Amino acid sequence: MADKPRLSFWQIWNMSFGFLGIQFGWGLQLANMSPIYRYLGAEESNLSYLWLAGPITGLLVQPIIGSMSDRTWNRLGRRRPYFLAGAIIASAALFVMPNSGTVWMAAGLLWVLDASINITMEPFRAFVADKLPVEQRTTGFVMQSFFIGIGQTLANALPLILTALGVTGVLASGIPLSTDYAFKVGSLAFLLAVLWTVLTSKEYPPEDMEAFRRMKSEQAGVLGGFREIFSSIWEMPATMKQLAVVQFFTWFALPCMWQFFGLAVARHVYGAATPDDPGFREGTEWGGLCFAVYNVVCFLVAFCLPWLARKASRKGVHIIALACGGLGLLSAYFAGPGDRYLLWASMAGVGIAWASILSMPYVILSTAVPPARMGVYMGVFNLFIVIPQVVMSFVTPYLIKHVIGPDPLRVVLLGGVSLLVAAISVLVVRDEGDRPPVGSVLRGDRREPLTTQMSAQPVPSTGLVDEGEGRG
């Protein structure tokens, strides 16, 4: 639709609610897979290899699903068929994950889980740009950040909550029953949350159905999809290339935290280096609770971001947020035995960064790419998320063995440095959304075209009216 209607708060809430379930799944995985692998006998230096499922499946799945969803239209719409299919498979994988008997069974299930989560998640980004007018997109992506914060908070805290409620004992593999029950609750939450969005949200049909059918016919089949992906990469807007640099350092840093933070807490705060040491379970559960803290901060901060972006700029908000995250991870160095609550302050900085990471790059991107190719470009943009994770997975084992040593805290600190580099690299990004279209004027939170009535009254050159390419 050329002029999309503004949606109400609850309509945006409903279309974003599925992210609660998606992030419940991600949160359980991020906080628990390293301990699960360790319980099953994996070596600490090999953990990054075992985590490759996420970035590799994202690399393969998201651009393909983005292209396919651009060319889909049926009774469920364009994006919702993928929401539903991915949610069903992901829920099944979550349900059986803790019952893995070997490292390789857990790794195989993680590949299934990550592929299906990517099938569900990728169209959600395009869904916001499909349904919302430009002036509401920041709110739409921030609403997703809000649900990401809630979903991951519940997922991170759930094993510890179940333990506090009296769930004790372990499976034959050594995996705690609290982890097993948490994954089964997450399986149900994932499916129900996505179903809510599927049932309560509608999609706009293509404006020109005949043109859509021609495009679908021309790009039919797997080869057509790959041609679309490669042409999108070749024709990538400059803003997207600049964001790629930011995303590389951001998403190199995050798996450093996700994979090693809980193990660092167990070692440095609880004095437990291996699963056989007393305190290992408590330490990794506390690490999960720390992840819950950063997600609480994420959803508290999320709704401040649109206001901050209007008052300053989206780039400025993202720079400050990434710097907070980097300093937060670096501050974990100062937490020793008896200092476990200090880690909450570290995670507060990460939570500020996380809220911006989940929204600002997508808002900036959505105003820089053609609407008709929104799905495929959101999928291609995911390459800049998964490639740094793949690089991290191959580089980190070498660093652990030959450079920084086997202390997981040093990997976390490496992540902090990488986030600071990401913050600096935002300076090179040109945000098209911060440049008003020619002949527009700022009125409150919106830009409106200059009217003939206004032409009788000169507008001062204050930077609110675009005066050509000379304006920055």
Tens digits of residue pLDDT in 77-101: 778 888 899 999 999 999 999 998 8
User: Which token pair is 204?
Assistant: 């706009």
Contact (CB, 8 A) for 168 and 410: no
Phi-psi domain of 439 (left: phi exceeds 0; alpha: psi -120 through 50; beta: other): left
Burial 96-111 (b: 16+ CB within 10 A, else e): ebbbbeebeebbebbe
Q: For residue 74, what are the β-bridge partners? A: 77
Residue 78: name the closest of 88, 68, 63, 87 by CA: 68
pLDDT value at residue 352 = 92
Torsions phi, psi of 221, nearest 5? 80, 175
pTM higher than 0.85: no
Distance CA 204, CA 209 (A): 11
Q: How far apart are CA 108 and CA 113, in angstroms?
A: 9
pLDDT at 303: 75
Residue count of the chain: 472
Question: Between the CA of residue 443 and those of 136, 448, 472, what are the distances in Å?
Answer: 15, 7, 20
Per CATH, is 9-433 categorized as 1.20.1250.20?
yes
Q: State the chain's maximal CA–CA distance in angstroms.
A: 81
Nearest one of 363, 372, 368 to 241, comparing CA atoms:
368
CA distances from residue 204 to 76, 79, 131, 366, 447 in whole angstroms, order as listed: 11, 11, 7, 18, 24
What is the spatial distance between Cα 43 and Cα 68, in angstroms, rounded to a whole number? Answer: 39
- For the chain (472 residues), the mean pLDDT of every run of 10, in chain order, is 75 89 86 85 78 73 73 79 90 92 88 87 78 79 78 83 87 88 93 92 70 56 59 74 92 90 86 79 83 83 80 86 95 84 91 88 77 67 83 87 86 94 91 54 41 37 32 32
Question: What is the C-alpha to C-alpha distance for residues 346 and 341, in angstroms, rounded to an integer?
Answer: 9
For residue 293, the model assigns a pLDDT of 86
Domain ranges of the chain: 9-433
Angle of helix 137-164 relative to helix 103-131, nearest 10 degrees, comes to: 150
Identify the CA nearest to 343 among candidates 272, 258, 262, 415: 262
CA dihedral sign of residues 67, 194, 167, 263: positive
